[in-house]
C-alpha cells in the first residue's frame, strides 16, 4: 500500500493536521480525540482510536497490526543472556491470570481479565547486569515506553498474551502487551517487539509527543469507569479499584 508506511509517513501525517488538531491527539484531552476512521487516508481496518463500548481502543498512530511472519521479541542490552523469542516460546513461561483496570489519562477506565507472565520470569532467563536499572520497550507501531526495573518487578505487572479468555485482539495489542495496573494506560504498551535493559532512563512516546510524565503513576482524582455508565467515582491514586471490583487483598482475607 503506497504511502502507508507509518515510520516514513509520520512526519507527513503530523503536518497534515493543524496544531490544535495535533494537540487533540494527546491522550489527556478528554472528548477531543481525533477519530482517524473519518479520514479516508486510513483504511477502516486499521487500528485506530475507537470508543468501543466496554473497552476503548487507543492507538497514537493508525496501524495495520503486527505481521507475525516478521514478529519476534528481542530481549537485549545490559544482560548476560540476550534472547530472541518466537510467539510460541512465550507460552513456556508460567502463566498468571489477573483482573485489573486499564485507566487512561483521558479519564475512562475499563476492566478485563488478563493472562500472561511476570517480567521476573524473563529476568531470570536473561540475567540483567547489576548496572541495568532501567528497561525500554519498543513496539511494532513505533510507540515506546520506559520503566525502572524495580517497577517492572512489582506484583500485578504482567506481560500479557490473553484478554478475557481469548488471544489478545489486534486492537488491544496482539501478540504481546504490558499491563501495569498502577500506571496510566499510555504506559501499558501494546505490540511489544523489543525489551532493552539499560543503565540510563529512556523517554517514552507520550513524554516526547505530549505533556505526560515518563513515570505515569495514576494520581488521586476522578475516574469514569466504562462499566458503570461512565459515572464519576473518586480514586486514591495507584491501581484503580472501585467498590464493585473484587480487590485481590480483600479476597485473600476471605
Ligand atoms: N504500542 C502502543 N501501545 C499503546 C498505545 C499506542 O498507541 N501504541 N496507546 C496507549 C494508550 S494511550 C492507552 S490508554 C492504552 C489503551 O489500550 P487499549 O487500546 O487496549 O484500550 O494503550 C497504550 N499502549
Ligand atoms: Mo490513553
d(CA 109, CA 58): 12
Show the 3-state SS of 53-94: CCCCECCCCCECCCCCCCCCEEEEECECCCEEECCHHHHHCC
Greater model confidence, 253 or 234: 234
Confidence tier at 11 by pLDDT (50, 70, 90)? very low
Confidence tier at 250 by pLDDT (50, 70, 90)? low
Q: Is residue 128 part of a domain?
A: yes
Residue 166, exposed/middle/buried by CB under 10 A (0-12, 13-18, 19+)? exposed
Domain that holds residue 88: 66-252
Q: Is residue 17 part of a domain?
A: no
The predicted pLDDT at position 246 comes to 79
For residues 124-142, give the mean pLDDT. 98
What value does the mean pLDDT of the chain take?
87
Confidence tier at 198 by pLDDT (50, 70, 90)? very high
Pocket test for ligand 1, best of 60, 63, 159 (most atoms within 8 A of CB): 60
Q: Is residue 248 part of a domain?
A: yes
Residues in CB range of 159: below 8 A, 6 or more apart: 90, 116, 117, 118, 119, 122, 176, 177, 178, 192
For residues 181-200, give the mean pLDDT. 98
The predicted pLDDT at position 12 comes to 40
The predicted pLDDT at position 18 comes to 37
The dihedral through the CA atoms of 41, 45, 47, 49 has a sign that is positive
* pLDDT tens-digit readout, 151-188: 999 999 999 999 999 999 999 999 999 999 999 999 99
Confidence tier at 254 by pLDDT (50, 70, 90)? very low
Domain count, the chain: 1
Is the CB–ligand 1 distance for residue 112 below 6 Å?
no
For residues 17-31, give the mean pLDDT. 42
What CATH number corresponds to the domain at position 97? 3.90.420.10
* pLDDT tens-digit readout, 44-85: 789 999 999 999 999 999 999 999 999 999 999 999 999 999
CA 154 – ligand 1 centroid, Å: 21
The SS3 assignment for 178 reads: strand
* pLDDT tens-digit readout, 201-233: 999 999 999 999 999 999 999 999 999 888 999
The number of C-alpha atoms within 13 Å of 250 and in the hemisphere containing its C-beta is 7
Confidence tier at 42 by pLDDT (50, 70, 90)? confident
For residues 5-33, give the mean pLDDT. 42
Cβ contact 205:124 at 8 Å:
no
- From the CA of 106, the nearest ligand is 2
The predicted pLDDT at position 80 comes to 98
Q: Is residue 28 part of a domain?
A: no
Q: Is the model's pLDDT at 29 over the cut of 70? A: no
The predicted pLDDT at position 251 comes to 56
Q: Is the model's pLDDT at 127 over the cut of 80? A: yes
Residues in CB range of 124: below 8 A, 6 or more apart: none
CA 197 – ligand 2 centroid, Å: 25
Pocket test for ligand 1, best of 59, 71, 111 (most atoms within 8 A of CB): 59
Greater model confidence, 99 or 37: 99
Q: Is residue 105 part of a domain?
A: yes
Is the CB–ligand 1 distance for residue 216 below 6 Å?
no
Q: Is residue 138 part of a domain?
A: yes
CA 96 – ligand 1 centroid, Å: 21
Q: Is residue 158 part of a domain?
A: yes
The predicted pLDDT at position 145 comes to 98
Show the cell assigned to 162. Answer: 490473553
Is the CB–ligand 1 distance for residue 186 below 6 Å?
yes
Amino acid at each position: 500500500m503506497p504511502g502507508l508506511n507509518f515510520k516514513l509517513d509520520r512526519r507527513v501525517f503530523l503536518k497534515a493536521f493543524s496544531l490544535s488538531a495535533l494537540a487533540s491527539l494527546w491522550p489527556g484531552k478528554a472528548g477531543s480525540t481525533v477519530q482517524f476512521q473519518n479520514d479516508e487516508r486510513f483504511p477502516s481496518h486499521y487500528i485506530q482510536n475507537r470508543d468501543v463500548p466496554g473497552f476503548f481502543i487507543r492507538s497514537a498512530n493508525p496501524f495495520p497490526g503486527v505481521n507475525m511472519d516478521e514478529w519476534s521479541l528481542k530481549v537485549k542490552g545490559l544482560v548476560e543472556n540476550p534472547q530472541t523469542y518466537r510467539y510460541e516460546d512465550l507460552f513456556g513461561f508460567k502463566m498468571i491470570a489477573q483482573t485489573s483496570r486499564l485507566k487512561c489519562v483521558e479519564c475512562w477506565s475499563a476492566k478485563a481479565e488478563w493472562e500472561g507472565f511476570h517480567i521476573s520470569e524473563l529476568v531470570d532467563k536473561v540475567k540483567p547486569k547489576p548496572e541495568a536499572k532501567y528497561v525500554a520497550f519498543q513496539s511494532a507501531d513505533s510507540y515506546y515506553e520506559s520503566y525502572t526495573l524495580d517497577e517492572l518487578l512489582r506484583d500485578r505487572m504482567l506481560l500479557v498474551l490473553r484478554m478475557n479468555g481469548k488471544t489478545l485482539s489486534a486492537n488491544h495489542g496482539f501478540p504481546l502487551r504490558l499491563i501495569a495496573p498502577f500506571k496510566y494506560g499510555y504506559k501499558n504498551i501494546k505490540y511489544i517487539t523489543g525489551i532493552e535493559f539499560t543503565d540510563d532512563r529512556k523517554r517514552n512516546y507520550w513524554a516526547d509527543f505530549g505533556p505526560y510524565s515518563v513515570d505515569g503513576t495514576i494520581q488521586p482524582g476522578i475516574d469514569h469507569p466504562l462499566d458503570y455508565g461512565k459515572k464519576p467515582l473518586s480514586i486514591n491514586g495507584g491501581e484503580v479499584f472501585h467498590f464493585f471490583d473484587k480487590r485481590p487483598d480483600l479476597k485473600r482475607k476471605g
